[in-house]
Amino acid sequence: MQTVIDVLSEIFSKAFANAGYDAGLGRVVVSARPDLCQFQCNGAMSAAKQYRKAPLMIANDVIAALPENDVVETVSVVAPGFVNITVKDEFICRYLEEMRAAPDCGFAKAENPQTIIIDYGGPNVAKPLHVGHLRSAVIGECLKRLNRFAGHKVIADAHLGDWGLQMGLIIHELSLRQPDLPYFDENYQGEYPTEPPFGLKDLEEIYPYASGKSKEDEAYLEAARRATKEMQDGRRGYRALLRHIIGVSLPDLKRNYARLDVDFDLWLGESDADPYIPAMVKMMQDKGFAYKSEGALVVDVKEESDTAPIPPCIILKSDGSAIYETTDLATLVQREQDFHPDRVMYVVDKRQGLHFERVFRCARKTGVVRPETELSFIGFGTVNGKDGKPFKTRSGGTMKLSELLDTVESKVAIKGEEEMDAAELKELKQIIGLAAIKYGDLMNPCESNYIFDIDKFASFEGNTGPYILYTMVRIKSILAKLKERHPDISAALSAAGHGAQQFSPAFSVSSERELALSLTRFSHAVSEAQKKDAPSLICSYIYEISNKFNIFYHDKKILAEENKDTLRALVALITLTLNVLDICINILGFRAPDKM
């Protein structure tokens, strides 16, 4: 369906053209003063410069030249040249009727679907997921669902960190602890055991230990670097250990992501890009882009317009080993071969912005990606504690993601908890807890830091996930009661299907019109969020819908209504409200319970 903004913009563009002005000036926006009007057009202001005429005169010309239509109820000109607009109630109802009948509440899918790869999650194998991984998972998952909803082909890739120094650290520490394992015997020719020589708990202990030790002991660090390089060069025993480390780590990562309702199509890692490195390096050398600098192989990526120095992109370190830049570039080679994407999005901590800037420039300059491939860095801010510093556990340690989820779930308070079945209660707390976390995150612009305030996020009041769920559960319960009392109406509504008009333009209270008008903005809100990679726009939209619904619910005694036509219209309105909310929270990555 065309958005209401587009419907109005078409009418006002015609009016500008009829009055002899550029049609492009007729763009309509949602009113900045909802107390005065529903929509506005500010084109006369821009026209003033172009036509050297007072904006007020232009605005008057335009409204005099408004084409015939059955949409606009009132137009007025306000100094210095704003055009204020309200639309007809009949139009609102026709529009809602169409939304009700159309799939996905009338959202128009992309005409030219793109292939989009989203690189998010980015967990490092052998290290537990912690609060620093939360935002990538939550934002990435939402952008995946949002772009899929918009009609694009989206491929989600977890891009495991499994090729760097952390692997060498684990391998080296293991070689000290269990030197007799066959993996360390260079003359060993046989098959390696299929069972790993360590479990998850061991790995979770080994990595922090080895990492701490490498910071104090230069020789230890050097040995870990050597092990990393040997693993990368293909030493058999080390590759076998790498497979074990991934094999032990991956199921745990999958379990954690499942708790977050986050899922990937590909669980590829940096190590999967390794086979693409040699040809990529050769290509960069053959084309004359890569050259030796202080032993390392680099590509210059600075540009004239840079205001700050941008160091060259390092392709290989002086010992010939691959680093973060190398695997990211080789992964792009792989993605280009496998999927030929139109766009690759990276949802990563904004502090990695410079890394991606260099990788993107290098990829373009050397032809790793086609010139038209869009590379986007969606950099996000930090999750802070109430003290404004990065979120920590009470004892000052990094908080594991699983611990964080447990804590939030334990904070969710539910009325009548005592009488509930234990399993049911647990599931309910999980659903609400997840909504609290995800909404608390996504309501902020991605690039901002935010304060992780569990009590606030888990509250049923205010701008929170549980408040949205509470509103939806309220609607579900009203609908269930109405169905019981008036079986004929719900039957008629579901059977009426697409033909019969259900919405009534006779709004009985102004809050009903307010709610209806906000519902018409659904497609616009979702499409803006998609275009701007901004989940927060969906959050503010559903907060507005929820508020408007609750005001309306307060004003109108829905359950006491007896008139059948009014009832039918009310059921249609609140069902649509529920559907719109449901689509939106699905995009955000959580769901609503039936009661709470």
Closer to ligand ARG by CB, 249 or 518: give it: 249
* Cβ contact 172:228 at 8 Å: no
* SS3 of 255-277: HHHHHCCCCCCECCEHHHHHHHH
Which of 61, 89, 119, 173 is close enough to bind ligand ARG by CB under 6 A? 119
Which residue among 124, 444, 490, 577 contacts ligand ARG (CB under 6 A)?
124
Q: Which is nearer to ligand ARG, 269 or 589 (CB)?
A: 269
Query: DSSP character for 243?
Result: H
Bridge partners, 28 (sequence order): 41
CB closer to ligand ARG, 159 vs 235:
159
Q: Which of 238, 346 has the CB closer to ligand ARG? A: 346
63 vs 301 by CB, closer to ligand ARG = 301
CA 259/CA 266 separation, integer angstroms: 18
Among 554, 543, 471, smallest CA distance to 511 is for: 554
Find the binding residues for ligand ARG in span 126-185 (CB under 6 A).
159, 161
SS (H, E, C) 447-498: CCCEECCHHHHCCCCCCCHHHHHHHHHHHHHHHHHHHHHCHHHHHHHHHHCC
Per-residue 3-state assignment (H helix, E strand, C coil) for 354-409: HHHHHHHHHHHHHCCCCCCCEEEEEEECCEECCCCCECCCCCCCCCEHHHHHHHHH
Could you tell me the smallest distance in angstroms from the CB atom of residue 380 to ligand ARG?
11
Contact between 82 and ligand ARG (CB under 6 A)?
A: no
C-beta nearest to ligand ARG: residue: 122
Q: How far is the CB of 158 from ligand ARG (least distance, A)?
A: 9
Instruction: Give the nearest distance from C-beta 278 to ligand ARG in angstroms.
Output: 20
Look at the chain and count its residues. 596
Residue number, 326 or 520, with CB nearest to ligand ARG: 326
Using CB under 6 A, which residues numbered 338 to 357 contact ligand ARG?
346, 348
Smallest CA-to-CA distance from 325 within 289, 361, 379 is with: 361
CB nearer ligand ARG, residue 268 or residue 316: 268
- Cβ atoms < 10 Å from Cβ of 118: 26
| Shortest reach from residue 277's CB to ligand ARG, in Å | 15
CB hemisphere CA count around 266 (13 angstroms): 20
- Strand order of the sheet with strand 153-157? 153-157, 115-119, 343-349, 374-380
CB of 293 to ligand ARG, least distance (A): 23
Contact characters 287-326, ligand ARG, x per CB under 6 A: ----------------------------------------
- The residue among 16 and 346 lying less far from ligand ARG, judged by its C-beta, is 346
* Binding segment toward ligand ARG, per CB under 6 A, in 118-126, 281-289, 424-432, 559-567: 118-126
Q: Residues near 300 by Cβ (< 8 Å), separated by ≥ 6?
A: 289, 312, 313
Listed ranges 16-24, 117-125, 296-304, 360-368: which one lies at the site for ligand ARG (CB under 6 A):
117-125
Q: Which is nearer to ligand ARG, 119 or 514 (CB)?
A: 119
Give how many residues touch ligand ARG by CB under 6 A: 8
Given a contact cutoff of 8 angstroms between Cβ atoms, the answer to whether 143 and 135 are in contact is no
CB of 213 to ligand ARG, least distance (A): 21
In the block, tokens 């619904």 appear at: 549
User: Closer CB to ligand ARG, residue 164 or residue 433?
Assistant: 164
**Whose Cβ is closer to ligand ARG: residue 122's or residue 589's?**
122
Q: Within positions 90 to 109, which residues make up the interface with ligand ARG, using CB under 6 A?
A: none
Name residue 326's amino acid: T
Q: What do you get for the CA distance between the two ends of the chain, in Å? A: 34
**Least distance between ligand ARG and beta carbon 575 (Å):** 41
Taking 3-state DSSP, the helix, strand and coil percentages for the chain, each rounded to the nearest 5, stand at 55, 10, 30
User: From the centroid of its chain, how far is CA 91?
Assistant: 33
Query: Which of 81, 122, 466, 589 is close enough to bind ligand ARG by CB under 6 A?
Result: 122
Q: How far is the CB of 267 from ligand ARG (least distance, A)?
A: 13
Which residues are near ligand ARG by CB under 6 A? Answer: 119, 122, 124, 159, 161, 328, 346, 348
